[in-house]
Structure 1
């Protein structure tokens, strides 16, 4: 499984998939939930698929009965679930604010001084 450069947009897409990893998602639904246009969403999906994180399948539906063409469905691969959780946890840790520190000699609220 290849690594994926983690951007805010990639993280946002992965969070949608991780809400229910067993639930396949289709492109329009992902665009609606993330707010991303197709020109932003589909390149992300392609990168995740190329890295082995996403599996792309075509919906098994009769186009004349459904009144629409089959949808391309995406779901996280088992390795993609693990990788996405790991990467999002690492990103969350990087974004955590540093512990509060006082100016030298000025006590912190807990009474400690630096």
Structure 2
């Protein structure tokens, strides 16, 4: 695996979330909602991970009428190795704030994804 700088807290959160079910295909929007990361941050993260061959991608094959196909993501073998490395030596990602109706509430970075 090609070595690169330690990933950001958001990238680490994405990798660890995908590692929770490594064989499952996930949608970017699903990851955005589960992690509290805005799409403007999420999709560049997914593209960088794909470019580094840490994610594999596919298009949704069973698309309901009237909806375009969605892009799916899951970890490659190298991505799973990175997730193992991050889980072993990484502190939990920093919490993110997510605006709810009313005051901002605190949401942990990757739990529940």
TM-score (norm 1): 0.71
Taking the TM superposition and a 5 Å limit, the aligned residue runs for 1:66-77 are: 67-77=66-76
Asked if 1:82 corresponds to 2:73, the answer is: no
Q: Is 2:15–2:83's contact at 8 Å kept on the other side of the alignment?
A: yes
User: Which structure is higher in strand share?
Assistant: 2
| Distance in 1 of aligned mates of 2:87 and 2:76 | 16
Unaligned runs of 5+ in 2: 92-113
What is aligned with 1:29? 30
Shift, 1:3, TM fit: 3.4
User: Which structure is higher in helix share?
Assistant: 1
Shift, 1:45, TM fit: 0.5
- Tell me, what secondary structure is at the counterpart of 1:75? strand
Change beyond 3 A, Cα 1:91–1:85: same
- Over alpha carbons, which structure has the higher Rg? 1
Count of aligned residue pairs for this structure pair: 90
